[in-house]
């Protein structure tokens, strides 16, 4: 089967489609640097779905150009559209192009587009999304809600630059190099080296949390000696120290399976966790914040998730609007 035929049968995810759209728009910018073009080439080569999405977006871009060129003063009309899209903002421009991709296949539907500040990332998710990526070296990378990361691979190392959100890393065997290169994850508060296995890194206000699921992770914090984290351990890392945390009241990697799994968790903390997966405001009254709950909660529909709470706790949901929800004690 030819490469074109093979790509025709692939169905990239909506996240990958959005990434292809972003790369196309970045490269169409007259100020696009050689480095941006090289990063795009690297992204395309990282996975067959990337190249498939790129070819389809490229085809759509060519078709749009032809249609505009067929109009009187076509190039001027196209330039005007592009200028207007830039004036409206990148988010609206991506919505426009994503909408065009919907025609012909529901698999191309992209309901929410990435915010403009995540354009510099190689991989990103919007609020409420989580997605997985297979890197060229064999590493598996899963992104939780509202997350942005970039990769920088060289002959000497594999570096994942983590800027916001939460990631689940499964160390690869470095299929690209005859001598394995270290797998590094950098963030605001330090550098982590995945020695083996799987681990979760989460960026929070003032600190970064590392949770080791399997294997070992070396923590290099600017203000502390290197520490090797073991399976089942979680560390809070700041600019000044790396501190072993007590047992968590929530499974740190369950989100990768679309779930929140709690163990005697405070209701206020639970609501704060659920709010990460929703747009708008989700709050909890202080007089019930200390209630405890344990269980398995699925994330695909947070409204259904919230509707379960009054069945097990003396609470009620108050919807001011779809985007403004509070949890209060039963009257």
Question: Average of pLDDT values for 306-316?
Answer: 95
Q: What was the pLDDT predicted at 66?
A: 54
User: What is d(CA 198, CA 172) in angstroms, rounded to the nearest whole number?
Assistant: 10
pLDDT surpasses 60 at 232: yes
Confidence of residue 265 (pLDDT cuts 50, 70, 90): very high
Least confidently predicted of 57-66, 134-143, 258-267: 57-66
Sequence-distant (6+) residues with CB within 8 A of 238 are 189, 206, 207, 208, 221, 223
pLDDT at 299: 95
- Higher per-residue pLDDT: 87 or 41: 41
> 3-class DSSP state for residue 217?
strand
The pTM (predicted TM-score) of the whole model is: 0.65
Closest to 306 measured CA to CA, from 290, 324, 235, 253: 324
Does residue 302 carry a pLDDT above 50?
yes
What the chain holds in terms of domains, given with CATH numbers, is: 3-118 (no CATH), 123-244 (2.60.120.1440), 254-329 (3.55.50.30)
User: What is the tens place of the pLDDT at every residue in 67-119?
Assistant: 444 444 434 444 444 444 444 444 444 544 544 443 333 333 333 334 433 54
Residue 199 pLDDT class (50, 70, 90 cuts):
very high
- Tokens 């592009």 — which residue? 82
Choose between 74 and 295: higher pLDDT. Answer: 295
């Amino acid at each position: 089967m030819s490469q074109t035929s093979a790509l025709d049968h692939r169905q990239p995810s909506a996240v990958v489609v959005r990434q292809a759209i972003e790369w196309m728009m970045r490269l169409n910018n007259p100020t696009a640097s050689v480095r941006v073009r090289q990063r795009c080439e690297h992204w395309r080569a990282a996975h067959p779905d990337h190249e498939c999405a790129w070819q389809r977006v490229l085809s759509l871009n060519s078709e749009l150009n032809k249609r505009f060129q067929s109009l009187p003063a076509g190039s001027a009309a196209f330039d005007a559209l592009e200028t207007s899209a830039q004036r409206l903002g990148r988010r609206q421009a991506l919505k426009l192009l994503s909408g065009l991709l919907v025609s012909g296949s529901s698999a191309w539907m992209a309901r929410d587009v990435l915010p403009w500040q995540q354009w510099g990332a190689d991989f990103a998710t919007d609020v409420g999304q989580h997605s997985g990526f297979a890197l060229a070296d064999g590493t598996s990378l899963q992104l939780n809600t509202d997350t942005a990361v970039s990769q920088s691979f060289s002959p000497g190392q594999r570096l994942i630059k983590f800027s916001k959100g939460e990631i689940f890393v499964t160390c690869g065997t470095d299929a690209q190099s005859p001598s394995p290169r270290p797998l590094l994850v950098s963030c605001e508060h330090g550098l982590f080296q995945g020695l083996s296995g799987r681990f979760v890194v989460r960026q929070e206000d003032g600190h970064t949390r590392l949770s080791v699921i399997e294997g070992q992770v070396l923590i290099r914090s600017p203000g502390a000696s290197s520490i090797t984290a073991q399976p089942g351990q979680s560390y809070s890392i700041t600019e000044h120290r790396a501190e072993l945390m007590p047992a968590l009241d929530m499974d740190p990697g369950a989100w990768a399976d679309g779930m929140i799994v709690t163990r005697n968790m405070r209701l206020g903390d639970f609501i704060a966790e659920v709010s990460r997966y929703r747009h708008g405001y989700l709050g909890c009254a202080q007089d019930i914040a200390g209630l405890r709950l344990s269980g398995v909660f699925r994330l695909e529909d947070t409204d259904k998730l919230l509707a379960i709470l009054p069945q097990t706790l003396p609470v009620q949901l108050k919807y001011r609007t779809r985007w403004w929800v509070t949890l209060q004690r039963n009257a």
